[in-house]
Amino acid sequence: MIAIINFIVMVVAGALMTIFYLMSVRPAALEQKIGERAYKRSATYRMIGGGIFIFVVMANYIIYYFYPLPIPLARTFPWPHWISAIIAVLIAVPGLTLMIVSGRATGEEAMIPKKEHTMYGGIYQKIRHPMAVGELPLWFAIAFAEHSPFLMIFSLVWIPVWYWWCVAEEKDLLLRYGESYAEYCRQVPRFIPRRRQKA
| DSSP assignment of 135-173 | HTHHHHHHHHHTT-HHHHHHGGGHHHHHHHHHHHHHHHH
Residues 102-140 as b/e (b if ≥16 CB within 10 A, e otherwise) read: bbebbeeebebbeeeeeebeebbeebbbbbbbbbbbbbb
Q: Which of 130, 135, 117, 118 is nearest to 50 (CA)?
A: 135
Structural domain containing residue 153: 2-187
C-alpha distances (whole Å) from 50 to each of 70, 89, 107, 149, 155 are: 30, 23, 15, 25, 16
Cα Dmax for the chain: 63
Q: Is the pLDDT of residue 150 over 90?
A: yes
194 in a structural domain: no
CA angle 23, 109, 61 (to 5 degrees): 60
131 in a structural domain: yes
Cα distance between residue 60 and residue 6, in whole Å: 6
Cα distance between residue 152 and residue 149, in whole Å: 5
195 in a structural domain: no
pLDDT of residue 114: 73
Amino acid at 10: M
Q: In the chain, how many domains are there?
A: 1
pLDDT digits (tens, 9 = 90+) for 65-120: 999 999 999 999 999 999 999 999 999 999 999 999 998 888 777 777 777 777 67
CA angle 150, 48, 161 (to 5 degrees): 45
pLDDT digits (tens, 9 = 90+) for 13-57: 999 999 999 999 999 999 999 998 999 999 999 999 988 999 999
pLDDT of residue 196: 66
Cα distance between residue 31 and residue 47, in whole Å: 18
Question: What's the count of helices (H) and strands (E) in the chain, helices before strands?
Answer: 10, 0
198 in a structural domain: no
- pLDDT band of residue 197 (cuts 50, 70, 90) is low
- Percent helix, strand, coil in the chain, to 5, is 75, 0, 25
193 in a structural domain: no
196 in a structural domain: no
199 in a structural domain: no
38 in a structural domain: yes
Q: What is the CATH number of the domain that holds 64?
A: 1.20.120
C-alpha distances (whole Å) from 196 to each of 112, 192, 199 are: 33, 12, 9
